[in-house]
Structure 1
């Protein structure tokens, strides 16, 4: 766990009352809050003292939030500052555009302060892990600079280096210039331990093929290319050591008619990268995929189904009368309601390759590869049934005594003439019809919507 820190936040909104309300709440949550009533004022403030995170409204006079975001992302000094849009605009187009401009998140007004704080904490955690990861990378680069020093310097640090180091010389066939193997010139204890060999069994021996095939079956041919053509080979390689898989960063540099190698254990960094990647793609409130992961997966599936000419189905679900639930039962119970619904939908969707994501607010999206309209309808009915069986009481709902869902469905065979954004718009229109026809309904997109 990280030590508690005070982070510097900048709220940009042309309505002073909006800023005041949000600033008061965030200040009590141990944030240092700065304020800007216009895009121009915000840019000057950011240039003078970059904040840790920016909460940015979209609709502002003179310069809107999109323009402010674009300027910040084009400046190398500010492009890494995370930007969360907080806006009353709730159209899919506005949200898609926000993420295209480089925003890390999008919160629709009226917002839930618990959700805002959760999303802020999530992004600040990601930023801190990135800094830690960068520090680790910078430390590695400092060690890698040693490779460009002379062989004499390499020999002097062999026995004290924390990295595995080895130098090998090419052994060529007598009647040709082809490399047949590599002879080990020097090797340090760390490298010998990594490959589970004793130094005396390596130095002076033709062990290039044996050593490299133990690390990676394709490594020998790559090292032949380094020796013959020069350059540097740098790869992250995973192989088993004492029945455990470990990650190593492997760098080979041409050295005379051979090469030198440094190898560092980066298992810890790799685990951190995987944790960071996982954290960046999970919605903090519902513990399912977030909008970022949804955008990546639907773009990938659209292209794959376009190549294969197979049907791709998208379902967008919305919690019926959720505002009334949230207003009357309170935000904490509203958050718990969204969590239970997310988990209920996830339990309904079981095929490999299918994705359930929080699309935004009380909306959820389900991506169904190679799925026909009828199968999608059957799944939608199952989802409605499972959510109803949760028996989440909603005495303030004008349509049902428990929480229910409305769902919009679209099935398309992707073509070169359109993108996945069109599919999202069609599913959204079908959902709109389901909501307007009495809620707790399933609407599959009609041909005229296509």
Structure 2
């Protein structure tokens, strides 16, 4: 038992040296082998050179934060199975949810207790050891498939016994046998040997109408026609298959997770209703991407979209335009009319700007307090100037009074426009800096106008 503990190799990733010292000392006392990294890039390199048995990962770090490190490791087949324990001073539920969404296995809040850290490390290492044993058993099982043909045949004969077990399951479960064309040998349909009540309910059928019947192809085509071919592939290749799909059940869209495994000349399938989980994911995604006041995209989505469109336009050698817009004398508006009217003003300006954008890839995002940013892919300088003029006109037509403005009796905006064809030698920051400078020039020249950036 002692030799197993010694071989456990743990990587600690934290930019705070005192934290590294405390954790290192704690773990070495328990005979763990410890390595350290002070930033995300170094951590990823260390994992690729020598994968540890477990990673303790801080979230707030310069450069790549812990979330990005975790996502990178979990997207790599060589490192995705390494358990990751987040250890952070961030204690909000949102931070913890995000940690698990990116692939974290556990989360410890600073300040931590030594006993808790050691217990959670031991738990994750135990789980990993069990998973390794399970993988070995799976490999062993594959090697024995040829010897188990007779066992599989007997499983079909004992389906009555199996049915008594699966009927109590909260998941939809079915076992199906291939029905082949006697001339071509191709699978024409599947006969439902075992179907539990939940599975029949998912198909909106009575149990007696599907059990033992040749109706599977007809029913599955109503859900998604491509699924039938996927199930045929499981039988012909022996490769298990897993997929999430949506299905309009009694007028309501519901989501299901489906796992199919080859079983002799057929397959078994388990279907779980994951609608509530999907709804929660959608709510979390909306919460993370929408500005709470104006209802348009937030700064996080702006940064992500700009980076994505930069790559797309660079690949396609198409222009990418950006408009940064600021409300003129907005502090004086807030001071005079009050913050409630100020919020209403921002909402109306956001709606007016969104109204101008017609193409699916064009987006407007709240860039700062009273600043907005508009991304216009595949748009040249003239097109961006025309869009800026339309936005100005739309906001003017709102007719929002601004008695404390130095430039207009109505709420007005200053806009900075930039446009480039992205290259590998530049970056999205170049486009942002150009638009920002152009907007500053618009303000210097009297506000209530749009200025396009030039090298002069």
- For normalisation by structure 2, the TM-score amounts to 0.63
Partner of 2:204: 196
How far apart are residue 187 of structure 1 and its match? 0.5
How far apart are residue 444 of structure 1 and its match? 0.7
The structure-2 alpha-carbon separation of the partners of 1:337 and 1:158, relative to structure 1 and needing over 3 Å to count, comes to same
5+ long unaligned stretches in structure 1 = 1-37, 49-66, 86-96, 104-122, 139-144
Partner of 1:159: 167
Distance 1:283 1:100 in 2: 24
1:300 and 2:290 aligned: no
Correspondences of 1:265-276 after superposition (within 5 Å): 265-276=273-284
8 A contact 1:126–1:280 mirrored in 2: no
Partner of 2:375: 367
Q: Secondary structure of the residue that 1:247 maps to in structure 2?
A: strand
CA RMSD of aligned residues (A): 4.3
Correspondences of 1:299-378 after superposition (within 5 Å): 299-323=307-331, 334-378=342-386
Partner of 1:248: 256
Correspondences of 1:75-224 after superposition (within 5 Å): 77-79=56-58, 124=92, 126-127=94-95, 154-174=162-182, 178-224=186-232
Distance 1:100 1:309 in 2: 34
- For normalisation by structure 1, the TM-score amounts to 0.64
Distance 1:101 1:217 in 2: 37
| Offset from partner CA, 1:250-301 (integer Å, 9 cap, x none) | 1111222221111122222222222211111011233210112112322333
5+ long unaligned stretches in structure 2 = 1-14, 26-37, 48-53, 70-90, 107-133, 142-151
Larger radius of gyration: 2
Partner of 1:391: 400
8 A contact 1:337–1:392 mirrored in 2: no
Q: Secondary structure of the residue that 1:256 maps to in structure 2?
A: coil
Distance 1:440 1:333 in 2: 20
Partner of 1:88: none
| Offset from partner CA, 1:50-95 (integer Å, 9 cap, x none) | xxxxxxxxxxxxxxxxx7898999995445x5x699xxxxxxxxxx
8 A contact 1:43–1:68 mirrored in 2: no
The structure-2 alpha-carbon separation of the partners of 1:268 and 1:131, relative to structure 1 and needing over 3 Å to count, comes to farther
- The number of residue pairs the alignment matches comes to 351
Distance 1:78 1:330 in 2: 45
| Offset from partner CA, 1:313-356 (integer Å, 9 cap, x none) | 21111233445555777766655544443334234434443211
1:425 and 2:408 aligned: no
